[in-house]
Homo-oligomer: A and B are copies of this chain.
Amino acid sequence: MTVTSRDVAQLAGVSQPTVSRALRDDPRVSEATKERVRKAAERLGYVPSDAGRALSSGRTRRIGLLLTDLENQFYPHIIAPAFHQLESRGYQLMLHTEAADNDVVAERLISNGLDGVLLATSTIDSVVPLRLRDRGLPFVYFNRTSTAVQADSAVVDPAQGMGEAAQVLFDRGHRRVAAILGPANTSTAINREIALRDALAHHGISIPAHYVHRGPFDTATGHAGTERFLKMPEPPTAIVCGNDVVAFGALNAARSAGADVPGDVSIVGFDDLPSASWPIIRLTTIAYDLDAMVRRAADLLIERIESPGRPVEESAFQSRLVMRDTLGRTR
């Protein structure tokens, strides 16, 4: 039924191993034979079997990307550059989502014969890194890290961006600043909260507990938090959001409540997604080079796979404030 390397070998008058070598351009095969094999393969429409190759070589050239919440607007901007970077280096991407049961996820990652895994949504208490380490399956933390196991990572350093944001907030008269933060078990939420509080503290501003809202990094969280803040007798004059998607939710809630942005309340995001710069949105946000960060993570993983001995490399990407229209002067 399907045409195998044996069929090609027969047609070309060589042995099966020679076909295998010829088609992968092994220097041990003469140019004349290679040409003959290529012709035969072409004529038969031979396509090598990934399964056979994987079983024999122990490698699949497949890399897993572990995410939660595929629908979130943030993830396409990870998937696309990851996909292309891996492709350019001869690897393929396989999506996985983190269900409730971490052990099942880890098992699936392992059974799939992946060469490595990009962990893009690890919680700090996830068991997945442990399981992967135990199996000797290489992985890299992207965006979020976990403390349980050390590994290569590519993350944002929020300090600079939050510093600039705090400065502008202070300069424009904001003293009542609220925050809508991510889940407490994510490193991103923790780091951004620390960076924000530190930066504001520099200007003598602190965020009281009732000005803090926590939840998943989605629009619903931004919506709920903002709705709550705006109903307060003394609402905040500015809301700093855990990321842009949360900020979009905040913008929606403000609009629904009839509150003017930035007249009544200023909103700051984090990520600078492409849609943040749309004329109908123009979100003030903290930017960093997400594409480069993704490519970095992919490269780190591939290097880890191809030369396992290397020391762990933690790479942080700088952030900066991008002023647009949702952060203004208090009135």
User: What is the interface of chain A, defined by CB distance below 8 A to chain B?
Assistant: 1, 45, 47-52, 54-55, 60, 70-73, 75-77, 79-80, 83, 92-95, 97, 107, 110-113, 134, 136, 219, 248, 251-253, 255-256, 274-275, 278-281
Contacts and interface: CB of A to CB of B under 8 A. Distances in A.
Given A50-B113, A73-B76, 15 more contacts: A47-B107, A47-B111, A48-B111, A49-B111, A50-B111, A50-B112, A51-B51, A70-B79, A71-B77, A72-B76, A75-B76, A76-B76, A79-B95, A252-B278, A256-B279
26 contacts: A1-B136, A45-B134, A48-B111, A50-B54, A50-B112, A51-B51, A51-B60, A51-B113, A52-B55, A70-B76, A71-B76, A71-B77, A73-B76, A73-B275, A75-B76, A83-B95, A83-B97, A92-B94, A93-B95, A95-B95, A251-B280, A252-B278, A252-B279, A255-B279, A255-B280, A280-B280
A298 to B, nearest CB: 14
A45 B135 CA distance: 10
Copies of this polypeptide in the complex:
2
A154 to B, nearest CB: 19
Given A71-B76, A73-B76, A95-B83, A47 B279 contact: no
A9 B279 CA distance: 64
Contacts of A275: 73, 248
Contacts of A219: 278
A100 to B, nearest CB: 13
A252 B280 CA distance: 6
A110 B51 contact: no
Contact of A80 (B60, B71, B253): B71
A47 to B, nearest CB: 5
A248 B110 CA distance: 41
Nearest to A49: B113
A73 B70 contact: no
A51 B47 contact: no
Q: Which 10 A-B pairs have the closest CB atoms?
A: A51-B54, A70-B80, A255-B279, A252-B279, A51-B55, A71-B80, A47-B111, A256-B279, A47-B110, A50-B113
Contacts of A54: 50-51, 54
A315 B225 CA distance: 42
Contacts of A92: 94, 112
A73 B107 CA distance: 31
